[in-house]
Amino acid sequence: MNPQVKFKFVGENPPDDLPTFLFSLSNVPYVRAFVAARNIKLQLASEAHLSELLNPQNIAKINAGGFDLVESPELRASCTVICKYVDRSLLAKPSESLHSEISDKNGVKASITKTKFSLKIRCATPQEANKLLTNGVKAFSIFTPSHYCELDQWFNIIQCHKCYKYGHETKTCTAPQICSKCSEEGHFYTHCSKSTSTCPNCKGPHTAISGECPSRKHLLKNARLNHGLAHTHPTNTPAQPTYTTTNTPHTSAYSYATAARPPLLPIPRPLHSHSSSMPPPLMEPTSCARMTGCIQAAYLKAGQDFQVFSKLLPEILAYNNLSNIKIPPSWLGQQQHPSPPPTPNAPPPHLPPPTTPPPIPPASQPQTTSNNSPCTDSHHHPPDMSPCKRRSTSPSPVRRSEAIPPPPQDTIRPIKVDL
């Protein structure tokens, strides 16, 4: 949908060609122009042309030429910034002091509207709104970052001006013309003599085009929800004919506000709907856990006696309101006898018995000297020590080479070596 902007000539003598005169003031091209008396509506090619037309320099030239800007819903949305998750102390400030503080600290000319948890800042131009979206909002030493700020969205609710129903246009309506005030046929609202208003949609005490209509608010709520889901679940299904959405970006370039705003996470959906051909689960997880506990209790109570186990299990299952388990009759005759306790130090049945290694022949023991016999060898102790005072000698350890028996003589073959 091409952006639109509306101007009104407030000078004394309007020119013959309003579109040409307006183009000479701004030098911004347009696609189509609609003129009605002193009002002119321009349809532009892109959002960039709209931003160029509404910059302060062009607005000053257009105002000097005798035109005033008529704020449309699209333009109002492109100039409005919504700050979410605002500090509570900031929302508790008076509206007058909050308006002057935000205008001075952020360098914008804006009007402030407070809600329960957010702050709506309506700037004079889209450029000022772009400034807040990029830099954030500062007020009373409290900073609201830019990723908590977003541009307002405008949703065009399609309403017929013949029957005043929603969902279709006037040119396609085949219903009779009714009055927008009393909802009766035969006259327009300019000739209505009724003192009370009646809505043709909700039958409430307001006109058919009132913004307080519950039917209109319900359509706006659905439009906002569907607009948020369109970013996470894009489909090829055409949009519903009840409304159209217009998302007016603040700039065509990539900004910090666009990068810092976290993307919407996809909503998890079930893999299979209720109409799927897949069968339902055989048992709930809770019932399965209870049945497992009943089987364990019957097994512990019966021990290894299968006959007792087959009698206890149906009783425990019936006591817990669970279905019985059918046991084959052939199993009832089988009874497992407890195996005898294992013999200590007995080898496992699947392993061969250990073999005893062959005995090692004893080595030749050296002769030892008794502790009581005097020593006769003088070379075993120093000359100044008497043989009786010499310490007893312990038997020398047997070497490993002495413990191994010599090989048989028949296995030794002489080797001839030539010199």
Q: 245: closest CA among 220, 270, 269?
A: 220
In a domain, 148, yes or no: yes
Q: Are residues 120 and 83 in the same domain?
A: yes
In a domain, 416, yes or no: no
Q: pLDDT per residue over 220-245, tens digit each?
A: 888 877 766 444 434 444 444 444 44
Specify which residues 120 forms β-bridges with: 82, 113
- Show which of 70, 102, 126 is a domain's final residue: 70
Is the predicted pLDDT of residue 388 greater than 60, yes or no?
no
Q: pLDDT per residue over 194-217, tens digit each?
A: 888 889 888 888 888 888 888 888
Domain range for residue 291? 287-321
Residue 272 structure tokens: 């299979």
pLDDT given for residue 277 in this prediction: 46
Q: 138: closest CA among 103, 110, 111, 114?
A: 103
Q: Number of structural domains, the chain?
A: 3
- Show which of 98, 122, 153 is a domain's final residue: 153
| Residues 6 or more apart in contact with residue 256 via CB below 8 angstroms | 134, 146
Under 8 Å between Cβ of 306 and 335: yes
In a domain, 56, yes or no: yes
Under 8 Å between Cβ of 310 and 327: yes
Mean pLDDT of 323-329: 73
pLDDT given for residue 413 in this prediction: 56
Residue 180 structure tokens: 């927008």
Q: pLDDT per residue over 353-381, tens digit each?
A: 556 666 666 555 554 444 444 454 444 44
In a domain, 294, yes or no: yes
In a domain, 334, yes or no: no
Q: pLDDT per residue over 153-175, tens digit each?
A: 777 788 888 888 988 888 888 88
Cα–Cα distance, 292 to 125 (Å, whole number): 70
In a domain, 116, yes or no: yes
Q: pLDDT per residue over 73-131, tens digit each?
A: 777 787 888 888 888 888 888 888 888 888 888 888 888 888 878 888 888 778 888 88
Q: pLDDT per residue over 249-290, tens digit each?
A: 444 444 444 444 545 545 444 444 444 444 444 455 567 777
The CATH number that applies at residue 56 is 3.30.70.260
Amino acid at 50: L
Q: Quick check: pTM over 0.75?
A: no
pLDDT given for residue 232 in this prediction: 40
Question: What is the chain's percent helix, strand, coil content, to nearest 5?
Answer: 35, 15, 55
In a domain, 143, yes or no: yes
